[in-house]
Structure 1
Amino acid sequence: MGEQHDPKRKIAFVGDSITANGDWDAWFPDAESTNFAVPGYTSDDVLAQIDDIVAAQPEEILMLVGTNDLGMRRSVEHLVRNIEVALVHLRRELPGVRLLLQSIMPRTAEFAPAIQGANIHLRQFCSTVRAHYLDLWPSMATEEGALRSELTDDGLHLSPTGYEVWLDELLPAVERLRDLPPMSRPIQAIRLSEPS
């Protein structure tokens, strides 16, 4: 038996500047990374690019979005609904894809109640679409609910140390995601209508 050269797994990274600024090719050298994240993106922007993500036919999708919605004073309900619709669409169009939704990261403490409220809803929804959920709050937030000062220079974006702490959580989560059994059965129970 000769050496097997498995094709690189295809990962799509979805989100805003926090993800856009990641060095994913270096951090996931075993994967073919496509970074769909764009600075300033909101959940509306992610919904608008769903067809492009599907067209890339990724095997894994890592999504982190929502903080810019709150920065623009959009409601928790608005961003949660958009993320839920996006996840439903991805699961329907890519039934075998492995989905990892990451909790919205803390930022300045004034945002903590809204972020934590959104994260509770998102965590509960993930099982509906057989998505994995990664809770980043314990490793990144202060007791007051702010992003720890050593992880950021501006209370929102990550410093190099911030990326290290994120990766310490993200890499094991992706390993767990890959250890799950294949997800191939179609979804029957979801009746989320897309916004008109």
Structure 2
Amino acid sequence: MQTAEQPRSTSGARIVVIGDEFLGRTDWDTWFRPAQVLDLRGTPLTPGELPILTSVLAFVDTHTVILTTGSIDGTAGIVDLTSSEATVDAFAHVLSALRTALPQARLVLQALPPADRAHARIIRETNALLQRLCESTDVGFLPLWEHFAQHDGSMNPDLVVPSGDLNANGFETWIEMLDHEGVLPSTDRPRRLPSPHHIYRAPEHTDVAADAPSH
């Protein structure tokens, strides 16, 4: 294992992870300080349920919130793969609510992951819109496509279990991208990184939709 370069700890700082179960079974303490990450994935993000989550977070010493996403299974009820605009509007509502409840916290939105070839175009279009939303609202954006998608737009099977959640290699790739993209405050970066330090690249495949957005 490698130790990442910058100082890691401030007492009391906590990372809260919400959203989809896409990351699979995670061992946060391997990569971050023990008890630094509070995992609340799977909590509904729909308008009726979101106030419950934000009220809980208001009582947690939250330094960074990472909103993980899924594609086919709906990211806790707010992803609509028939409409990029509806999905972006739903995420805008969630991010606005988080900003109101946690005005000092760093917010990070993970891009929608690849799913299958049939949904490749709308996922990439949606991610392009989500990135613009993040840029306009001072939210960190974590892209996934380059290192998780095959060339036909489907998920790299080497990085997931049959259910579509990340396996150990996939999660290590996610951790590396989280650090590589620089979306976390220096105090919240992983204390360790996979060794040797490299980002997994998807195998070569053909028949990608070349005119789709690249995010």
Tell whether the structures are fold-level matches, with TM greater than 0.5.
yes
Q: How far did residue 94 of structure 1 move?
A: 1.6
1:153 to 136, 140, 161: 161
TM-score for both structures, normalised by structure 1: 0.75
d(CA) in 2 for partners of 1:81, 1:148: 28
Q: Distance in 2 between matches of 1:157 and 1:20?
A: 5
Structure 1 stretches of 5 or more lacking a match? 181-196
The match for 2:184 is 177
Q: How many residues are treated as equivalent by the alignment?
A: 173
Aligned positions of 1:22-171 closer than 5 A: 22-29=26-33, 32-38=36-42, 43-44=45-46, 47=50, 49-67=53-71, 68-69=73-74, 75-154=83-162, 156-171=164-179
Tell me which stretches of 4 or more aligned residues in structure 1 moved more than 4 Å: 70-74
Residue by residue over 1:80-119, the C-alpha shift from the partner in whole angstroms, topping out at 9 and shown as x without a partner, is 2111111111112222111111111112222212211211
1:78 to 1:53, Cα distance in 2 relative to 1, 3 A: farther
For residues 103 and 30 of structure 2, what CA distance do their matches in structure 1 show? Answer: 28
Please say if residues 54 and 93 of structure 1, whose CA atoms lie closer than 8 Å, have aligned partners that are also in contact: yes
Give the superposed CA RMSD.
Answer: 2.8
Structure 2 gap segments, 5+ residues each: 1-8, 188-215
Cα deviations by residue, 1:157-187 (Å, 9 ceiling, x for unpaired): 11211112111101334x553149xxxxxxx
| Structure having the larger proportion of residues in helix | 1
CA distance in 2, matches of 1:144, 1:159: 21
**Secondary structure of residue in 2 paired with 1:63:** strand
Change (3 A) 1:157 1:18: same
Residue equivalent to 1:13: 17
Give the aligned residue type for 2:74.
D
Offset from partner CA, 1:109-131 (integer Å, 9 cap, x none): 22212211211111000123211
Shift of 1:154: 2.3
Q: Work out the CA distance in 1 between the residues paired with 2:136 and 2:155.
A: 29
The 1:82/1:176 distance shift into structure 2, 3 A limit, reads: closer
1:152–1:159 Cα contact (<8 Å) kept: yes
Q: If the length of structure 2 is used for normalisation, what is the TM-score?
A: 0.69
Rounded Cα–Cα distance in structure 2 between residues aligned with 1:42 and 1:66: 13
CA contact (8 A) 2:108 2:140 kept: yes
